Structure 1
């Protein structure tokens, strides 16, 4: 099985902080690797068109962001960057 997870949070997806699952926006499951990779490439292409900044880690995590998309953190009294993370899992 192959899984693609889209999460949106104020940290990159590879950190997987406790409770990170609460930030999942969408999840896709595939039996065939080829189908999964095709969908992954489609999603990555869409995010590359939408967001100017991108970083990849370990060939299974991608993060996209725009400096304009931030949220205010009351407890730390500052603006935090919002990240759109894509995770590729082989289950």
Structure 2
């Protein structure tokens, strides 16, 4: 019974906090600020064949996302490289 009361108290305290209100109302916790860059490797059958780069910027007008996907494959002894860029 004591643990149950502690859990109820923690839930009550969290739901009344400013952080919880911001989270549930789409406040600053979900809006972000500045910019963020993420890199990821692209693998096929355990071998690296390329990478993906995603850059996210929060602006007053909205969120801008720039992404680049690069991969290189070998087909019939010929290297083939492809780069895809997208800006939204």
Whichever structure has more strand as a proportion of its residues is 2
Q: Same fold (TM over 0.5)?
A: no
TM-score (norm 1): 0.26
Higher relative contact order, chain-length normalized (CA < 8 Å, sep 6+):
1
TM-score (norm 2): 0.27
For the pair shown, the structure with the greater C-alpha radius of gyration is: 2
